Structure 1
């Protein structure tokens, strides 16, 4: 796949996920039973949105990222995503942080799939 197409798809998908996370998280944070999940989801969405916006802006200003560099960044991110999954699993085992843990697992799983898929597309291209 064309590296520019991979990078464009990456920021577009991340931006959409971010918007949905902020919206859904905001609603769920208002409900006492889902407050932790909602709070984490909205916060992750805000950070993901900022990352997607900066990535898209940099691509417009500087052109596409070097594919080898982008692939390295994605592979490092995938390693971090595995860490998020582990942290979420630990939080899931606590009564107080169960909702937060569930949200961290959902976000980590999505990001791992996104990063790994994009890195694989860059390797193939």
Structure 2
């Protein structure tokens, strides 16, 4: 949203010609920009959902009945990925309901920037999860009665948090690389500032 505000302050420029970055008309560029975001969101949901299902299957099989550190590790993996599966499902549902062909430029830019901010915020949470896992392991060292439980849970949280950290940062980089270039073209970035390209029909 701050990026859009900057374009307004820099001034508006109307243009009916094709943007030099691509041979497509500006309106087609806008559709491609929005469709790319929705497709990426769908890929995020499918990837996270597949990871969650695989972890749940392995965890359910590997946990066993004996209350060992490995049991608690795999049990936490199942719990954690139930949440991941729910998040993935909500994301896929949202991408199915999205209609990128009807978005205005302001909406497309806002949603693109919001997605990047969400991924960075999630990366910060992932670091906190890993710190929480380390705390559980430390607690296990000082609690002989629940050492296996604390240690198993802690190691699981660190592994799952580490995966999500890489997942969020990689997708942020991909999202930024793909979307920012299209966004700059739509907003008409020049060496003197930013001017908004408005499609004229």
> What root-mean-square deviation, in Å, do the aligned CA atoms of Structure 1 and Structure 2 show?
1.9
Structure 1: segments with no counterpart, 5+ residues: none
Over 6 Å off, 4+ runs: none
Q: What is the aligned counterpart of 1:18 among 35, 38, 52?
A: 52
1:8 corresponds, among 25, 36, 42, to: 42
1:1-125 equivalences under 5 Å are 2-32=36-66, 33=68, 34-63=70-99, 66-93=111-138, 94=140, 95=147, 96-125=149-178
Question: Which structure has the greater CA radius of gyration?
Answer: 2
More displaced 10-residue stretch of structure 1: 62-71 or 8-17: 62-71
TM-superposed deviation, 1:4: 3.2
What is the CA-CA distance between 1:70 and the residue it aligns to?
1.1
Q: TM-score, normalised by structure 1?
A: 0.90
| Conserved? CA contact 2:49–2:84, under 8 Å | yes
Q: Give the TM-score normalised by the residue count of structure 2.
A: 0.58
Structure with the higher strand share, 1 or 2:
2
Query: Matched residue pairs, number?
Result: 125
Measure, in 2, the Cα distance between the counterparts of 1:121 and 1:57: 22
Structure ranking higher in helix proportion: 1
Asked if the contact 1:25/1:38 (under 8 Å) is kept, the reply is yes
